[in-house]
Amino acid sequence: MRQSGSYTSRRRPLIAGNWKMHGMLDEAQQFVADLGNIASPDQVEVALMPPYTLLHPLSELLRQKGIQLGAQNVYYEPKGAFTGSISPLMLRDAGCRYVILAHSERRDIMGEANELIGKKLAAAWSAGLEPILCIGEHLEERQDGETNAVLRRQLAVLEDAPEGAALTVAYEPVWAIGTGLTASPEQVTETHAFIHEELTRLGHDCRVLYGGSVKPENAAELMACPGVEGALVGGASLQADSFMKIVQAAADVAAGE
């Protein structure tokens, strides 16, 4: 429901850890061992997105703890002569439920644009994966008052999406990723309200996560913002203790504590 121009949801939040290009097998196995039991699994869903090399080794270990597995990217063809690429069917075979798409590092460093992202979305859905579609503006775009226009352009990839397609959106202001900077609660609330309105206009009703220097110290404040339905966590997801503190903060907020 919507209240006072902001969005409030009763959906179970998702805390997803994006390990990016970090993690060796022994480190990953120790991480899972150190996690312990997930706090309040009925209050919060947890997922991890390790590098491709760790998907198969972690699949069963995470399943035993009730943690979903995801990948950080995917190619749009099911198979073929595409050296170095991973298909959606391969991700499903490895045990993945989620796949991150359009992360700002893919957009900015690898030059991925909406046309390619749209193909990846379609391929993920056809294979039964749930995309976590990343959107976000650069600092100069926010300073110039262009945040909503940027997000609208990025969300345009959903215009032809199948009705009822499984989807999560992650708002990650680029200026807050890995910088230690975090959007204020007012900025987060305002931007998430716009994103939910834009998703409604496009015919989608899905979770919207916040990402960008989420850590144990600010997790509760961010999770309490209207319209925030979880977090896409980067650096803080590499240590079991800090990641679980974020999970617990989300569970506490969801429980109204």
- The greatest distance separating any two alpha carbons of the chain, rounded to the nearest whole angstrom, comes to 53
- What is the pLDDT at residue 9? 65
- For the chain, the structural domain boundaries read 12-254
Find out whether 14 and 47 touch, Cβ atoms under 8 Å: yes
* Residue range 57-76: mean pLDDT, rounded: 96
pLDDT value at 4 more than 60? no
- What is the pLDDT at residue 94? 98
Specify whether 103 is catalytic.
Answer: yes
Tell me the residue type at 230: G
Find out whether 99 and 129 touch, Cβ atoms under 8 Å: yes
- What is the pLDDT at residue 40? 66
CA distance 43 to 27: 28
Radius of gyration of the chain (CA): 17
Given 130, 172, 190, 229, which residue is catalytic?
172
Architecture label for domain 12-254: Alpha-Beta Barrel (3.20)
* Residue range 219-223: mean pLDDT, rounded: 97
Given 103, 192, 196, 204, which residue is catalytic?
103
* Residue range 79-84: mean pLDDT, rounded: 98
Each residue's pLDDT tens digit, 149-186: 999 999 999 999 998 899 999 999 999 988 888 799 99
- Ramachandran angles phi, psi of 206, nearest 5°: -145, 170
Specify whether 172 is catalytic.
Answer: yes
